[in-house]
Chains A and B, each alone.
Chain A
């Protein structure tokens, strides 16, 4: 490990700083970028000979172009070049992250490939997450982006926000829907007090007053295809709801989220079902973080659990992750150390070991 860390400091030089804004008439285009990379060391059990997770990883290499087309319309186009994975390797993350246009009338109408308005954690950009990865319940078990349309309306100076949308339901960019030809439907409402809650996990603005926020969201689909590893896609009916709470004050921030999937798979499913032909997959996520401006530091802890309830992996996946972030230059250049304690009860041969990750975040925004 010592040798690997030495190489890390020598070789780690991912960085690019430039921001441009172009204006023409009422149109304005901005360019920004996020680059996140780390070295991952996994503490394998004795006897494990294949150790592919001890490696450098480029987590994100994003380039975003967004702006306004007029006073009524804005757009975003974002690609993640880190998702260009060598052919034959696992991973099906789309290179395209966002490609949408939003038209603002009495209600906002957003059309295109976009973030799905489901789950507080999911709706917060990875840039504002003090960890290198997302929780299992969100990072693995829900589709976070899809092609579709979202309606949005806010009230009381954005204290109350409401989203509703319809999407292909596959979670990836494809020309064809699955054989069912049905869509996925999503809705979310969020109420904050005494002001709108920003889309961040951290309280980097050292909130002078306590701000709280409550969110509820739900999604429903009835598809004819499924994901064999996580109940992200079910051949049958999939109903999910989530409740979340957020608090920030004086640099301290807390987010708790509960997720629950109720699935009714069609016959021949790989999933273990009860006498009603259903299975349930609950999950918990808790984030807590403290920003200390004098030390230019953020300390954070996350607990997350998820019971995917699959036949192959019928076990609660549970993790406790500690994070230290040193803000080299505001939150644009951040040195980050994560220690992930894997508390999953079944230590399988394909992973579930403790990990340490050491890396950097570069943002041009």
Chain B
């Protein structure tokens, strides 16, 4: 009886306002432990994925591993492609590691002097081809965004109070989308000033990687060990 009363009280307070929810239309098994990010391969068909164990994989269109780079780091978190080069953020050593897209051959590593709060990490990253810059997002709030120029090895720092933790980012038709594991939600950002345009709830827990291919959006989850296919939300 008393358990029932307690349960009734709990259900009575179970209220929460909801934004639009995006539901996956298909899902794929992911044979990767602790996936940390996902991007479309420059060939336009396959995928590149990184892991918390410092691995980088080439995946086919069904998310099966085709091959893995022999180079192993400690903890790969963010992933982006700029000028036919793969950039991976190595969390532990504050490095950007460069790979060739087709062979996943290690090119070189930059130690990047990002001055972050102690214990903070780089989580998401995105390349801005028109400015030849890479944006790297710190994990802890308030989010610090490092706008990094690989050629000049310089960067600017932008602080954003209103952004949640960003796990991954990608462009689709000049629209910039960010994936947050925290809510979890998809956020459309203004590519110029990174202001939030719109947010959607997504039906995926522990979402780590986001990319677009052939008019669909793909999100990978580490704990669910699956890739989910979505319709791209319209404005």
State the A residues within 8 Å of B (CB). Answer: 18-21, 23, 28, 30, 157-158, 194-196, 205-209, 211, 250-252, 254, 284, 286, 288-294, 299-303, 305, 318, 320, 322, 330, 343
Contacts and interface: CB of A to CB of B under 8 A. Distances in A.
Contacts of B205: 195, 205, 207-209, 211
A294 B13 contact: no
B201 A318 contact: no
Listed residue (B13, B18, B183, B225) with the most chain A CB atoms within 10 angstroms of its CB: B13
B6 A288 contact: yes
Given A195-B206, A195-B223, A208-B205, A251 B2 contact: no
Interface string B165-194: 000000000000000011110000000000
22 contacts: A19-B117, A19-B119, A21-B119, A205-B181, A205-B205, A206-B184, A208-B203, A208-B204, A250-B16, A254-B10, A284-B3, A289-B10, A292-B15, A293-B183, A294-B17, A301-B13, A302-B6, A303-B3, A303-B5, A320-B5, A322-B9, A343-B2
Which 9 pairs between the two chains have the least Cβ-Cβ distance? A288-B10, A303-B6, A19-B119, A195-B223, A299-B13, A208-B203, A290-B14, A252-B14, A301-B9
Contacts, number: 89
Contacts of B119: 19-21, 30
Nearest to A28: B92
B235 interface: no
B224 A195 contact: yes
A97 B6 CA distance: 32
B153 interface: no
Contacts of B5: 303, 320
B202 interface: yes
A209 B228 CA distance: 13
B107 interface: no
Contacts of B203: 208-209
B16 A292 contact: yes
Interface of B: 2-3, 5-7, 9-11, 13-18, 21, 33, 92, 117-119, 141, 181-184, 201-206, 221, 223-225
B16 A158 contact: no
B210 to A, nearest CB: 14
Contact of A301 (B6, B117, B183, B206): B6
A17 B148 CA distance: 29
A286 B225 contact: no
> What secondary structure prevails in chain B residues at the interface with A?
loop
B69 to A, nearest CB: 18
Contacts of A330: 141
A320 B2 contact: yes
Nearest to A253: B10
Given A286-B7, A303-B3, A206 B183 contact: yes
B235 to A, nearest CB: 22
Nearest to A197: B223
B184 A303 contact: no
Contacts of A21: 118-119
A204 B167 CA distance: 17
B2 A303 contact: yes
Contacts of B15: 290, 292
B23 to A, nearest CB: 10
Contacts of A205: 181-184, 205
Contacts of A302: 6
A276 B22 CA distance: 60
Contacts of A30: 119
A2 to B, nearest CB: 28
A21 B3 CA distance: 44
Contacts of A293: 16, 183
B7 A251 contact: no
A226 B110 CA distance: 62
A320 B223 contact: no
Contacts of B181: 205
Contacts of B202: 208
